[in-house]
Amino acid sequence: MTTVDKLLLKIVNHNSPTIEEILAKRDSRVLRSLATAISSNVFITENQSKLLLKILVENCEKFEIFKDEILETIKAPAWSQRFRFIEQVRKFYIGKDLEHEPCLVLEFTFSSQIRKILQNLSKNLENFTQRNPGKNYEADLTEHNLVMLYEALDKLNFDIDETIKTHYATIKSWSKADFENQFLITAMSSQNFVKHITADLGIETPADSILINDRSKRYQYFLKNDEKSEKYENSLISTISNRSGSRVWIDKTQYSLIKILDTLVELKRLPLMVIFDSRDEAKNLKNLNLLNNALEICGIDNDIGIYFRLPNSETGIKFNQLIGEKKYNSPLDSDTKIVGVQSGKIPKFFLSNTWKPMSVIVLDNVMGMRHGKTAVYTNCCDLILEYSDTAPIVEKHILS
């Protein structure tokens, strides 16, 4: 009796007509692939065998030469070898990211069901990325991410690390209302907190100021809804100051760099770090001109340092000359208002300097700034504006 796999090889090796002339492109491609697997040392899986039988049954009438043999074989399918066994891996644990920082790691054997669930879930996760195609996923090690992933993966029979289970139980034992009430700005009595926020905003800043809204992420306090400023409702400054996390995407087609810089000045968000693209020289020149225009209109004309140069190409020469003409070469110190660096590159002198940004603008990086030296450096900042005409692939909050 002919086995199904031997019959497939006979069909695939038949030249007149070929399977490409008989079947739809997708089906013929699948049969070729299965025939290759059958001829190899690894054979096919049980799921692949079911797919093969399905294609043969659905297309039996098209195989005129092999029709009778197909009908006879599929009555009681037999195979010349045992199916290849695929170990089913489903793990959820705390590992290390590319910067050797702790992160949540998902490891699983390919499953279209799990991938679909994760795709839907990713919209509500912070910094959720795929490290290896079809294998590992990573997410920031935060309470929110841990709870959402735990509750989704537990239903999918994942092997969940005991440390994550302990963290989950602890987090679920918390009372959100009690926690928020403890950190309401009206309840914050720490002298250290009062000292820092007063030094930042001044003692005369009213409680309903938009600045109080904005600094809630920086100093980790909450405001009641009736304490939030309504003066700037539905505006750029309101959306930035009432952000849910540190990152905000701003649609380049909706807001100019002038408007953004003006808003940051009003929020007392200088000094500012501007992160340029690391590959596109033409885009860098265009963005430097936009930044120069915005700085001049907003009246910022000193203490500016663009700390990288382009090669001496036609575009690079114009870029470098503009920096010289506008004197954007101030040394980095406590008075520096605006700095410019390239994505993924931080000059070494930043690491030994006390200067730190109050805000960051990332220019035209649609992949989102999630890894690399600039990403690690700017983790200290509670306001990172991602400015492009296309939303970053992974994002928490979108402003358009």
Kindly list the distances between the CA atom of residue 335 and the CA atoms of 44, 331, 391, in Å, as whole numbers in the listed order.
67, 9, 33
Residue 223 backbone dihedrals phi, psi, to 5 degrees: -125, 145
Structural domain including 205 reads 176-231
Q: Would residue 82 count as lying in a domain? A: no
Q: What confidence tens digit (pLDDT) does each residue in 30-54 have?
A: 999 999 999 888 899 888 899 999 9
Q: Is residue 84 assigned to a domain?
A: no
Q: What is the pLDDT of residue 394?
A: 53
Residue 210 lies in a domain: yes
CATH number for position 338: 3.40.50
Are 261 and 384 part of one and the same domain?
yes
* pTM of the predicted protein model: 0.61
**End position of a domain, from candidates 49, 75, 101:** 75
Non-local CB neighbours of 296 within 8 Å, separated by 6+ positions: none
| Residues in contact with 44: Cβ distance below 8 Å, sequence separation at least 6, in sequence order | 5, 34, 37, 38, 52, 83, 84
Same domain, 247 and 342: yes
pLDDT at residue number 130 = 83
- Decide: residue 1, CB within 10 A, 0-12 exposed, 13-18 middle, 19+ buried: exposed
370 closest CA partner among 389, 400, 392: 392
Number of folded domains in the chain?
Answer: 4
The residue count for the chain: 400
- pLDDT single digits (tens) 349-378: 999 999 999 999 999 875 556 667 888 899
Question: Has residue 355 been placed in a domain?
Answer: yes
Residue in 191, 201, 91 with CA at minimum distance from that of residue 149 = 91
Boundary residue ending a domain (123, 148, 173): 173
Do 123 and 223 lie in one domain? The reply is: no
Same domain, 211 and 329: no
Domain co-membership, 336 together with 258: yes
Same domain, 12 and 140: no
Whether residue 361 is contained in a domain is answered as yes
- Residue 70 in any domain: the answer is yes
* pLDDT tens per residue across all 400 residues of the chain: 689 999 999 998 988 889 899 999 999 999 999 999 998 888 998 888 999 999 999 999 888 888 889 998 988 999 998 988 777 789 999 998 888 889 999 998 877 888 888 888 888 898 888 876 656 899 999 999 999 999 999 999 899 999 999 999 999 998 888 887 888 887 777 888 888 888 888 888 887 789 988 998 898 888 876 556 566 666 899 989 988 888 999 999 999 999 999 999 999 999 999 999 878 899 999 999 999 999 999 999 999 999 999 999 999 999 999 999 999 999 999 999 999 999 988 999 999 999 999 999 999 875 556 667 888 899 889 999 999 988 776 544 333 3
Residue 83 lies in a domain: no
What pLDDT is stored for residue 398 in this prediction? 38
Query: Is the bond preceding residue 17 a cis peptide, omega within 30 degrees?
Result: yes
390 lies in some domain: yes
**Residue 91's beta-bridge partner residues?**
107, 159
276, 389: one domain: yes
**Per-residue pLDDT at 228:** 62
Shared domain for 135 and 146, answered yes or no, is yes
- Out of 19, 44, 75, a domain closes at 75
Residues 283 and 360 in one domain: yes
| Residue 32 sits in the same domain as residue 165 | no
181/242 same-domain check: no
Does residue 210 sit in the same domain as residue 300?
Answer: no
59-93 confidence digits (pLDDT tens)? 998 888 888 899 989 889 999 989 887 777 899 99
Residue 131's pLDDT is 75
R_g of the chain, CA atoms, integer Å: 29
> Percent of the chain beyond pLDDT 90?
52
